[in-house]
Amino acid sequence: MVREKISRRRKKGITLIELMITVVMFAALAVTITYVARAVLLTWYSQEIRGGIGVNLNRGIEDMARDLRKARQVQSTANYDEIRIRQGTITSSYYIYYLYNASDSYVPPPAFNQSSYQLKKATLSGGINGTFTYGSGEVIVNDVVPPPTSDLSLSGNLLTVDLTVTHGDETVRSRTQIRPRNV
């Protein structure tokens, strides 16, 4: 009878091997869950960055397209990747959309030696062929990849706005063609 009680007690407990197997299984499960969670979070973060880039890029291009559609006169010089416009009928205002990087100088035509630019809109003084201060104006889009990847050009009466934006490892491209209504 004493022997039966001792053998029952031994059967109710767990062995060291069973405990080690359980710990290894939980560790494997924890590693798997961590790996999957990390992959999901990295994907979510990447999509969040791309979404933000896309929203800013599309907003900038829409603002630019609105101005270009209302333009009375449009001009673009080959290899400059800039668009000059005249708006208004009675009193005209002149603007330029151009790519800017503080490390570049504006020596025609621009060299575009940097890896990232800002698309800016500045006021021209002296008409459509007038001058402006390089670096002046409002920023429309940041982190624009330089030409030939990005393109601001005019062919006939059709403007091409093709911008690629890179932020970190994420790249988003948006391309549109605009026909000014008043030209």
What one-character-per-residue DSSP string does 68-136 give? HHH-SEEE--TTT-EEEEEE-SSS-EEEEEEEE-TTS---SSP---SS-EEEEEEE-BSSTT-B--TT-
Read off φ and ψ for residue 117, nearest 5 degrees.
Answer: -135, 165
**pLDDT of the residue at 7:** 58
Confidence category of residue 5, pLDDT binned at 50, 70, 90: low
Q: How far apart (Å, rounded) are the C-alpha atoms in residues 10 and 82?
A: 86
**pLDDT of the residue at 8:** 58
**pLDDT of the residue at 136:** 94
Token couple for 116: 């990232």
The more confidently predicted of residues 35 and 107 is: 35
**pLDDT of the residue at 82:** 92
Token couple for 40: 């999901």
**Taking a C-beta distance cutoff of 8 angstroms, is the pair 123, 86 a contact?**
no
Q: What are the tens digits of pLDDT across the range 73-82? A: 999 987 788 9
The stretch 129-134 carries a mean pLDDT of: 92
**pLDDT of the residue at 54:** 87
**Average predicted confidence (pLDDT) for the chain:** 89
Q: What are the tens digits of pLDDT across the range 12-57? A: 778 999 999 999 999 999 999 999 999 999 989 888 888 888 899 9
**pLDDT of the residue at 4:** 63
Confidence category of residue 90, pLDDT binned at 50, 70, 90: confident
Give exposure, 24-51, as e/b (b: 16+ Cβ within 10 Å).
eeeeeeeeeeeeeeeeeeeeeeeeeebe
